[in-house]
Structures are given as C-alpha cells and as structure tokens.
Chains A and B, each alone.
Chain A
Amino acid sequence: MPDNKEIDQLSGVETTGHEWDGLKELNNPLPRWWLWTFYITIIWGIGYTIAYPAWPMVNKATAGLLGWSSRGEVAEDIKAHEDKNQALVAELVAADMTDLAATPDLRRYAVARGASVFRAFCSQCHGSGAAGATGYPNLLDDDWLWGGSIDEIAATVRYGIRTENDDARFSEMPAFGDFLEEAEIDAVVKYVFSLSGGSIDQATLETGRQVFLDGCASCHGDSGLGDRDQGAPNLADAIWLYGNDPEAVKTTVKYSRFGVMPGWDERLSEADIRAVSAYVHSLGGGEE
C-alpha cells in the first residue's frame, strides 16, 4: 500500500517495514546478475525435465527426450566392462582347462572371476569361505564325491547333482532301514567308524563286516574307499558330509540321503562355469 511506504533516510531505499530493535530491513532489489541467473536456472530446469525422466505420471514418470535412465547407464557400464574382458573370456572358453596352470594370467583371471561367481551363486550352500556345512560338501579339503579335477568339477557345476538333467551326477543309496535289523545297523555303523580307526569289539566287527560286504561294498568298495564313478563316498577317511557322529551315520544307513545341487548350464555362461570350476579347483583340494 502506497500509504505505508517508508523510505530509509540514510540510504534513500524503501524499507520492508520489518523492524527488530530499531533496525529496519531495506528492500533493495536483487542484483541484476542474480536475477538473470535465477531466470536462466528456471529455463534450464524446464529444459532438463523435458530432456530427462522427470514428471510423475500414473504408471511411470515421463521418459525424457534423451532416453536416459540409470538402469540403462548401469547396463552400459556392465557392457563396457564385458567388452573389455572379451578377449580373456574368449580365451577362457577356448582353453584346455586341465592345462590352465600353463597360462598364469588366464588362470588368475579365471580364479578371480570364479570367486565372484562363487559368492553370487554357490556361497548360499557352500559358505562364503567354501567350507560347506552339514550336508553341503566342504570344497577346501581333498575329498571329492565325484572327482576333483577341473573338468570333473566343471561337469558337476554344469549339470548338477540328482537333477532332471540327463547328464547330471546321479546316485541313490537304498534306505537300509527297510531291510536290516536295528542291531545290524548299529554293527555296520561301528564297523564303518572302525575303518578310520574307531574302536570296535571282535563280535561287532564280525557282524558289521558281514553286513557291510553284503549291503555296502558293491558301491563303497570292500575296503570302504568309495567309488567316484557312482558318487559313493570314501568311508575310510576323516571327512563326514553329514557329521562325524554315529547317530548321523546311522540315520544315513537307515533312511539314506538325497543331497541335490542345481545344474548351472542354463543360468551361467560357459565362461562363468569354467571360471568357478577353476576357482573351486584352486581352493586347496584340486586334483590333476
């Protein structure tokens, strides 16, 4: 209102009428450059919302004329990274895996790539340190159910264990609880532990051995050393997939086990399968 207009005596500038302890605020206009910068930012902002995704619509925001998206940017980054590794990947896919040690650079790449594949797809069961868990094999040791050469590991990874795939590792132990007496089962469990140094009395040894030779030796071998062709575990060593404990072994004998591992041939690329096999092979138990 013109009536209330108050001019500051000292500077000749209009005041806002606000007063604090006698101090009045001058109503100086904004500097020109500031004002123009402000207008330019508005114009810029409008242009920006047209060029880039911005306005929320019912289902999604406007896409923007430049077609940029953060997802697209990530995809580009991944693509750029893969392009960079293309030569190594091609080399890895073509390589003779049994002779990987002869090409240290390729091996280093395969192991590093395999480590990240392992963490993403394998660590859920085998653990981030590959130490496994009860029922999930420890990949750090020197014991292999199906073979520890790099190609055998790759075959296991590719087709899985007890899957629908025709090439999958497959074996099934009978549930001996259906045929054997409780006492016979106890005896054979004691006998199995005696193979790796467990104490046993003579009578149980006789019974246990007989039961073993009749029912178990066809797969696990007369000395209990197992058979990798059938995936029959070595029973004479110190490694127990389901626990170093008579009760656990008894459960296995009685009801059998049926551990499965998915096949990865459809989910992982050939390079990833080879890489993760090289990684697992490098963990400490790799065989020739």
Chain B
Amino acid sequence: MSTTDPAPSLYAARVPIFPRRVSGWFRRFKWVVMIVTLGIYYLTPWIRWDRGPSLPDQAVLVDLAHRRFYFFWIEIWPDEFYFVAGLLVMAGLGLFLFTSALGRVWCGYACPQTVWTDLFILVERWIEGDRNARVRLHKAPWSLRKFRLRITKWTSWLIISLATGGAWVFYFTDAPDLARDMLAFGAHPVAYTTIAILTGTTFLFGGFAREQVCMYMCPWPRIQGAMMDQETLTIAYRDWRGEPRSKHRKTEQAKSAGDCVDCMACVNVCPMGIDIRDGQQMECITCGLCIDACDDIMKRLGKPTGLIGYLALSDEAAERSGSTPTPIWKHVLRPRTILYTTLWSLVGIGLVYALFIRSDIDLTVSPQRNPTFVTLSDGSIRNIYDVRLRNQSGNAREFHIHLSSDTILRIELEGTEQSQSVVVPADSILLQRVYVTARPQDPAATADVTEFRFWVEDLDSGSRAFKDTTFNGKDTE
C-alpha cells in the first residue's frame, strides 16, 4: 500500500432507489395484504365489545392503568401474562415455520416496514410520477414545481404517519373518548408524546430510511439466514436459462444467448435496489415484484415465464439438467417444517386448553400464621384466613363461602353479621378475613393440624371452586 492512499472509508452513502410501477400476481397479492393489515391496524381499536357496565367496551384494549388486557371475550390479568408469552412463542415459531418453508415471506409481504414503505412509495408515485419522472425530478435543480411536489409528498406522508402514530394510542385507551379528547387538546401528554414519536419514526422509516432499515437496523435478515436451508422455497434467478444475457435479439450472436434480455426490469422495480440475478443476497426481502416484472417481459417476448421465480436451491441441479424438480409439497413438508408445525400446534393447543380450564372463580387462601391460632375466652381455638376472591366479570357477583372437613369446624366471615355470602364488585379482588373455629371439645382444637377445604360458590351461576388448607390446633404436648 502506498503512503498516499487515504484510509478506506467505512461509510457508504445511500444510493437513492426509485422503484418502477409493476403489475402482476405478486403486486396484487401485496395490495391485498396491505389493505388487510392496514385495515386491521387502523380499525381494530374501533370495534366495540360489550362487557357489562363497569368494564370498557373496546374489543382490543391494553389497559395499562388498570393492568388489564382485553381481547374480545378474553380478559387477561397481569398474573395470566403467560397467555401473552405463549402467543409470542407461537409468533416466533410461526416465523420459523414460514421462513424455513417459504423464505423471507414475513419481510416481503407482512413486515410493517415493508407495508408502510410500499404505501409511501405508492403516494410518491401518485404525486411525482413513475420511476423516470422521479429520477428526473431528483436530478433537477430546485424549482417552484419541485418544491411544490416535494411539499405535497411530505405532507401526504406526514398525514399517513400521523394516522399511524394516532392509531397506536387507541389501543391503550378507549378510542372514541381519546379521539374526542385529542381533538379538544385535552388528552394526556403521554398520548401526544407517543403519537409524536411514532409519527416521526413512521415518516423517517417509510419516507427516507426505507431499505436501510432492513439492511442496517433490522436483525431479522441475519437470523433468517439461519432459518433457511437448501430446501427452502425462495426467489431466485434461473441463470442456467437466462445466461448469457443479451440485449441484441436480432443479431447472430443472439442465437446462442439465454432468455435474459438484460432489460433491467427486475432491477428497476426492486424496492431494495438490488439485482436478483447476482444470486441470493441479504438485502433481498423476497417481495416478488421482480417475478412480476420479468414475467411481464417474458410474455411480451413470447418466452416461458418463470425466469425469476420461487424455487429451492436444492433443485438447481435438476433444473439445470432439464429433469423434473422436486414437487413443491415435498419442499414444504419436510422434518424441519413438520417439527416447527408440531411445536407451534402444541403451544397453541396448550394455550387454548389453559384458556378453557381457566376457572371463572379465582380463589386464594392464605392462612394467617402470626399467630398460628387464637384462644377465645370460652377456650375455643380460632384460625384466621385471608381469602381473596377474584371477579373478572363486568358485574358484581355474590359468592357463598363455606368449608368441608372430616371434623367439626365453624366458619365465620369478618364483618358480615352471620352471613356467609360476600359480594365481590365487578372487575376486582375482594380480600375477606375468614375465621374458622373449633370448640374446646372438638378434636381439631387439640389436634396438631387438621386438613379441610374451603368452598366458594357463585350463587347465580352455581359454579364452584375449592382450596385445601389446614387448621392449627392448640399444642397440648
């Protein structure tokens, strides 16, 4: 190395990408996915779900203030967070499954970064025109027209970003109330801050960072590399069919050329700005737009489509030699994907099972052991229990508390005047002090430990729950 060479720069300036409009099966599929996912995102907070008078009627609500998570008919309290953990495990395994079978389908179709970038590019095209117009505008010096187009584009992006950030907070508070408060500038500052941050990130990520988020910020492309193997279906260029590429179709040398006419359609439509013909690349999000672009050209040239298409790398040899490649179902159904499916299903079945056996009466009994027992004036022995009753429903419920044991024990509820019923208000936990007493002549009074069972019964529905616990007698040596 000569001494005058400057140190190599580690900084790569972004090369602007101007994806061209394309039409075809994958493009249509992506529109559908975009409409469905954005529709779910924007509309879900507005779905109503009646839960009774004292609970929120929003179908999906993360109520941080009261530590509740509502999802349609399911209500999750903080101690049941394993349901959420289970869903996350399922989401993870689902990603593994889809990635090992179909490559980076998450990146290409469903990732919010992809969906929003797609939307932003669509808006960009409506305002500034298609690829060539945008390239010209990019190179043109600042003028009134360029200024007007840019301002229109940025304003449109900002409105989308605001809607995106705005929709997010609706998941955490009652949406209609919050919308009203926000318009009156009376909402909580946290709401405005959250919206501001999310608006900013949406605007930057969707409008400017775009593919750089995937390339430099996101760990998933690296992880996905480990999830894929030779059998995974992914998007690739059939170089054995396309090479040597040639633009000159009419000349002599074209006779020996491959199908690729080097029209650059696949490169021009790519939102990541790569050339799929260079082979598998970390940058490729497998959005399928190059397939649409190439198929379109091939049809016009009267050649078979599929020069770029979904294939497994293990089929390359078979395809090269012209023999039949492995059928697609064999790529999808193999030990690895079956294992992921099995694990995914097991977690899912476990969660559903847990959800169904979840008792609608939640009872905990903590015996008070300071002191272990109390002697009353007539010599009776009393034990004290803190009974916690949980009512997850939106209505107050009346519970009857009693006990069963092999020996004689009496039960008394603190502050209820002889009644053995307590009313638990809606959506709350009631702490009830319960006294269990054995008269001096009862065996439990002198036995070291007596086992018994607390029963709780919902008088309306008849559902019951129990908890086993123990009674401490007086130590008689």
Contacts and interface: CB of A to CB of B under 8 A. Distances in A.
A129 interface: yes
B3 A129 contact: no
Interface in A16-61: none
A127 B377 contact: no
B377 A282 contact: no
Interface residues of B, number: 20
B399 to A, nearest CB: 15
B377 A143 contact: yes
B384 interface: yes
B374 A138 contact: yes
Interface in B152-204: none
A140 B414 CA distance: 12
A143 B374 CA distance: 11
B377 A129 contact: no
B42 interface: no
Interface in B353-403: 368, 370-371, 374-379, 382, 384
A74 interface: no
A141 interface: yes
Given A131-B374, A142-B376, A239-B377, A284 B382 contact: yes
A10 B377 contact: no
Given A238-B376, A239-B377, A284-B435, A129 B382 contact: no
Interface string A233-244: 010011100000
B377 A140 contact: no
Contacts of B417: 101
B7 interface: yes
B1 interface: yes
Nearest to B7: A11
A131 B371 contact: yes
A285 to B, nearest CB: 8
B7 A284 contact: no
Interface in A113-158: 127-129, 131, 138, 140-143
Contacts of A196: 379
A140 B374 contact: yes
B377 A238 contact: yes
B377 A107 contact: no
B200 to A, nearest CB: 22
What is the interface of chain B mostly: helix, strand, loop, or mixed? Answer: loop
Contacts of A239: 375-377
B380 to A, nearest CB: 8
A202 interface: no
Contacts of A238: 375-379, 440
Contacts, number: 55
A141 B370 contact: no
A85 B406 CA distance: 47
B370 to A, nearest CB: 3
A57 to B, nearest CB: 39
Contacts of A9: 3
Q: Is the interface of A mostly helix, strand, loop or mixed?
A: loop
Contacts of A237: 377-379
B433 interface: yes
Contacts of A101: 415, 417
A145 B453 CA distance: 35
Nearest to A100: B415
Nearest to A132: B371
A107 B371 contact: no
Nearest to A138: B374
Interface in B1-32: 1, 3, 7
Interface in B334-369: 368
Interface string A1-15: 000000001110000
Contacts of A234: 377
Contact of B433 (A138, A142, A282): A282
A234 B376 CA distance: 12
B374 A127 contact: no
Nearest to A104: B415
A140 B1 contact: no
Contacts of A10: 1, 3
Given A128-B370, A131-B370, A284-B435, A141 B377 contact: yes
A11 B379 CA distance: 95
Given A101-B415, A107-B415, A129-B368, A141 B374 contact: yes
Which of B371, B377, B379, B440 has its CB near the most chain A CB atoms (within 10 A)?
Answer: B377
B376 A141 contact: yes
Contacts of A143: 376-377
Nearest to B416: A101
B379 A284 contact: no
Contacts of A11: 7
Given A128-B370, A131-B371, A140 B378 contact: no
B396 to A, nearest CB: 12
Contact of A284 (B1, B3, B377, B384): B384
A250 B371 CA distance: 27
Given A143-B377, A237-B379, 5 more contacts: A143-B376, A238-B377, A238-B440, A284-B374, A284-B414
18 contacts: A11-B7, A101-B415, A101-B417, A129-B368, A129-B370, A129-B371, A131-B370, A138-B375, A140-B371, A140-B384, A141-B375, A237-B377, A237-B378, A284-B374, A284-B382, A284-B384, A284-B414, A284-B433
A-B pairs, 10 with minimum CB distance: A129-B370, A237-B377, A131-B371, A238-B379, A140-B374, A143-B377, A142-B376, A141-B374, A9-B3, A239-B377
Interface of B: 1, 3, 7, 368, 370-371, 374-379, 382, 384, 414-415, 417, 433, 435, 440
